[in-house]
Amino acid sequence: MEQRHPLQLRPSAETRFADELAALKAADQGRRPPGWALSARAVRSFILGDSKLSVRRKFYGDDALVERALVALMSEQGLMLVGEPGTAKSMLSELLAAAISGSSMLVVQGSTGVTEDHVRYGWNYALLIAEGPSLRALVPSPVMEAMRLGRVVRVEELTRCPPEIQDVLISVLSEKVMAVPLFSNALFEIRMLPPRAVTFTPVPLPTMTLLSALMKATALTSSAVPSASAITELVMLPFMFALPSSTPCEVRRSMRERST
């Protein structure tokens, strides 16, 4: 049963479908990848439905796309979902994060106003002035929290972020470590824990420069790079998939069924 707080306009996926997640976890006998709350099969059932456990279907589209997305995340690489507006990219990434990590709340909402503090870390300047650089004065970003706790972090609207912010994300994804200089002779490091997964939902199609950098960051060997005309097709890269343009009507049907 979908749970909804009376004062919340749109609860998170893990709150709305808490009963389904609990039922899947109780019945899950599959092997769970490191850091995953559910097995890959159970995550698939959560998104595509399981009549035996009374789990409703949430994503109406290409089932194989969901399966390939799970394979990409199991390889501890980044996952990029590319598609036209309204093709359920954000919804799919939220469902994946809720099922894999138990939380979909670690999000960087991309825009031209995103700064490095949103991706790496910031400082509590009152504590910084009073005590100097310290862990108490550090204000972690959603990306840093995901690395520290071993959860999935979602980066929405990646292509709306300034190029320098995209560079920071690529570096973190490539090295899987974030260094924080605390003192003159000390260096504090955050190393990414499993599942080591980052989901990107860019609109429109990323530039070839960004695609090339992301391919290197995720250690891909494929040389297939999509053209602008392939935006509505399934892009054959292990970490990057385009949602078909037919998805919006199916999503609207899903939303109507969910509200009844």
What's the CATH code of the domain at 155? 3.40.50.300
In a domain, 1, yes or no: no
Rounded Cα gap, residues 40 and 42, in angstroms? 5
Least confident range of 86-90, 163-167, 168-172, 198-202: 198-202
Rounded Cα gap, residues 80 and 62, in angstroms? 16
- Check if the beta carbon of residue 99 is closer than 8 Å to that of residue 37: yes
The mean per-residue pLDDT over the stretch 67-95 comes to: 83
- Check if the beta carbon of residue 143 is closer than 8 Å to that of residue 200: no
Nearest C-alpha neighbor of 191 from the set 180, 181, 202? 180
Kindly tell me if the per-residue pLDDT of 47 is higher than 80: yes
Which tokens is 83 given? 């598609």
In a domain, 128, yes or no: yes
Q: What is the pTM of this model?
A: 0.77
Q: What share of the chain is helix, strand, coil (3-state, %, to 5)?
A: 45, 15, 40
In a domain, 43, yes or no: no
Q: How would you classify residue 138: left for phi > 0, otherwise alpha for psi between -120 and 50, otherwise beta?
A: beta
Nearest C-alpha neighbor of 119 from the set 100, 144, 156? 144
In a domain, 14, yes or no: no
> pLDDT at position 226, please?
34
Q: How many domains does the chain have?
A: 1
C-alpha angle 219/224/229, rounded to 5°?
130
Residue 197 belongs to what domain range? 61-259
In a domain, 20, yes or no: no
In a domain, 17, yes or no: no
In a domain, 44, yes or no: no
